[in-house]
Structure 1
Amino acid sequence: MEDHRIRAADADRERVASAVQTAGSEGRLTLEEVEERLTHVYAARFTDELAALTTDLPRPAPPRPGFPLTRAALRRHPALRLHLAVVVALGVLLVVRWAVLGAGFFWPAFPVFWLAVSLFVHARVRSFRERPGTAVPY
């Protein structure tokens, strides 16, 4: 029966070494355990040997998506840029109208708030649709 083990690459070793060092800095491993595991990491020849060195450590949390309204998102989506321009134009128009009429109560805060919410929801939907593995509803 043939041995179907996969050889470890330097990138695999560095990834596992980083996980071991992180566990040491979090206090999950003592300094001696970190040194011992790092010695085994850099001596490992196969990926299953590397996996055995981190089985008792927690998996890192998957990265959370950041704020959806970024410059990169605005560059990728012309509809989002247009929505932002409309929100800004309407906000300025409402504030100018409030200032010209001399109303005491700042009523434009409410429509500007809802315009901003609509822009945020639009950006959030766009970022959700860009994630790999998500179905785009039609």
Structure 2
Amino acid sequence: MEDSHPARIRAADADRERVATAVQTAGSEGRLTLDEVEERLTHVYAARFTDELTALTADLPRPAPPRPGFPLTAAMLRRHPALRVHAAVVVAVAVLLIVRWAVLGAGFFWPAFPLFWLTVSFFVHARVRSARDRLGPAVPY
């Protein structure tokens, strides 16, 4: 005998909490009345399957996807040795330029211009790596 209904997936506590948070957020934004929030939360915690949970938030707007944060993190530096090398080169060149400026006794701090572009190049490199990480697995190059 063939089952005409697709297999239903049981809801986990984490699924219920995620939907309950969405319902509470909708209530705090004024999208749902207090009675609607209470009624939906009752159904959320009584739900046994994920399709029951989906129906409880079908008329609510979807949250905006999270924006990427600052591209440079310690995890990214560990994951991409090329960024560590780039950072080391920027620091080494910065030290050399500042030492040269100090030894020559120039009044105007001219190393600010090359240091600015070195720093910009490093952050652009980090942003490109971050975008590539979001698109798929890192390809060594």
TM-score by length of 2: 0.83
Aligned length: 137
Could you tell me which of 45, 59, 74 is aligned with 2:77? 74
Could you tell me which of 95, 114, 118 is aligned with 2:117? 114
- Unaligned runs of 5+ residues in structure 2 are none
- Unaligned runs of 5+ residues in structure 1 are none
Q: Equivalences for 1:45-56 in 2 at 5 Å? A: 45-56=48-59
Distance in 1, matches of 2:71 and 2:138, equals: 18
Distance in 1, matches of 2:15 and 2:7, equals: 14
**In the alignment, what sits opposite 1:3?**
5
Identity of aligned residues (%): 80
TM-score by length of 1: 0.85
CA RMSD of aligned residues (A): 2.2
**In the alignment, what sits opposite 2:60?**
57
Could you tell me which of 18, 32, 49 is aligned with 2:35? 32
Deviation >3 Å, runs of 4+: 132-136
Distance in 1, matches of 2:135 and 2:19, equals: 25
Is the CA contact (8 Å cut-off) linking 1:128 and 1:134 kept in structure 2? no
Distance in 1, matches of 2:81 and 2:24, equals: 43
